[in-house]
Amino acid sequence: MLEVRGLHKSFRGLVAVNELSFAVAKGSIGALIGPNGAGKTTVFNLITGALRPDRGQVLLDGKDITGRRPDQACRDGIGRTFQVAKPLNDLTVEENVMIGALRAARGVAEARVEARRVLDLLAFGREATKPAHELTLPDRKRLEVAKALATKPRILLLDEVMAGLRPTETDQMVEVFRRLNQETGLTILLIEHVMRAVMALSGHVTVINYGSLIAEGPPDQVVRDQAVLDCYLGQEAD
């Protein structure tokens, strides 16, 4: 469904993503992992058009979408969350999600209904009518997911949405994604440091370090890979 080929991006000499290629199959849940600063978020920015790659291609259903604007990527069916949440602070949670829902809805009324549905799905209760700036960090992460989901994506890119959640909250979130994936066939690519979530959700893991692919495969196999162990151990030693 989603494929990147030879993706390359450097920031003033620093190579953030290095000739990277990988794919996410339709209907699957893929994970993109790697130590801090490995270039994961940059990969998302390249896929969604927030950044332009120096070289390489992004393909969605075989169609080249490299260099399209982020709003076009969204309309093509790519939903994303931001690692540092970007709530629309002065608006209510419901309005935040409703604006996302306007992407696929015919009008405000329809978007409002869709927003309610997404908010229920993510178990937002009374917080729904609060201004977004009053939310706690975990709730802001949930709002990030809700905004992206409301745009009715075919593939959802999640950037560390479980970071900072308590284990029970993580499990709830994992359950939501699993259900979405099974019931609606939503394809997901997630960046995650919480290995518990990665192991529970994804069938295919891509590991990068210094922007380069170092391993990929099923999660249980990847976590035993020597190169992967080395790069994570290397970081712990820092």
Partner 1 sequence: MRSLFEGVPARAAWGLVCVIVLLYLAPLVFGGYVLSVLILCCYLAVLGQAWNVMMGFAGQLSLGHALYIGLGAYASGALFFHFGLGPWIGLIPAFIVAGAMGALIGWLGFRFGIRGVYFALLTIAFAEFVRILFDHWGWIGGSSGMFLLVQNRNIDMDAASIANAFWTLRGPNWVFYYVILTGMVACLVTVRLLMRTRVGYYWLAIREDQEAAQAMGINVLRYKLLAVVISAMMTAFGGVFYAFYNNTLYPESIFSIDRSIELLLGVIIGGIGTLFGPILGAFALTWLGEGLSITQEWFDIAGLKLLTYGVAMLAIILFRPAGLWPWLRRLLGMEERRPDA
Ligand X SMILES: Nc1ncnc2c1ncn2[C@@H]1O[C@H](COP(=O)(O)OP(=O)(O)OP(=O)(O)O)[C@@H](O)[C@H]1O
> Which residues of the chain form contacts with partner 1 (CB under 8 A)?
48, 50, 69-71, 74-75, 79-80, 82, 86-92, 95, 98-100, 102-103, 107-108, 131, 147-148, 150-151
Q: Give min distance, CB of 145 to partner 1, in A.
A: 12
Site residues for ligand X, 77-106, by CB under 6 A, read 83
* Per-residue contact string for residues 41-70; x = within reach of ligand X by CB under 6 A: xx----------------------------
Decide which of partner 1, ligand X, Mg ion, none touches 136; Cβ closer than 5 to 8 Å per partner kind. none
The owner of tokens 């893929």 is 30
Decide which of partner 1, Mg ion, ligand X, none touches 89; Cβ closer than 5 to 8 Å per partner kind. partner 1
Q: Which of 28, 41, 96, 170 binds Mg ion (CB under 5 A)?
A: 41
Stretch that binds ligand X, among 32-40, 96-104, 177-185, 212-220 (CB under 6 A): 32-40
Decide which of Mg ion, partner 1, ligand X, none touches 53; Cβ closer than 5 to 8 Å per partner kind. none
234: burial class by Cβ within 10 Å (0-12, 13-18, 19+)? exposed
Edge-to-edge strands, sheet with 2-11: 14-24, 2-11, 55-60, 63-64
| Residue among 63, 54, 44, 26 at smallest CA distance from 208 | 44
Provide the residue type at 198 as one letter.
V
- Give the chain's radius of gyration (CA, Å): 18
Examine residue 81 and tell whether it contacts Mg ion (CB under 5 A): no
Q: Give min distance, CB of 163 to ligand X, in A.
A: 9
Tell me how far apart the alpha carbons of residues 55 and 98 are, in angstroms, rounded to a whole number: 36
| Phi, psi dihedral angles at 3 (to 5 degrees) | -140, 140
Half-sphere exposure of 206 (CA within 13 A, CB side): 23
Contacting positions for ligand X (CB under 6 A): 11, 14, 16, 34, 36-42, 83
State the residues that interact with Mg ion by CB under 5 A. 41, 83
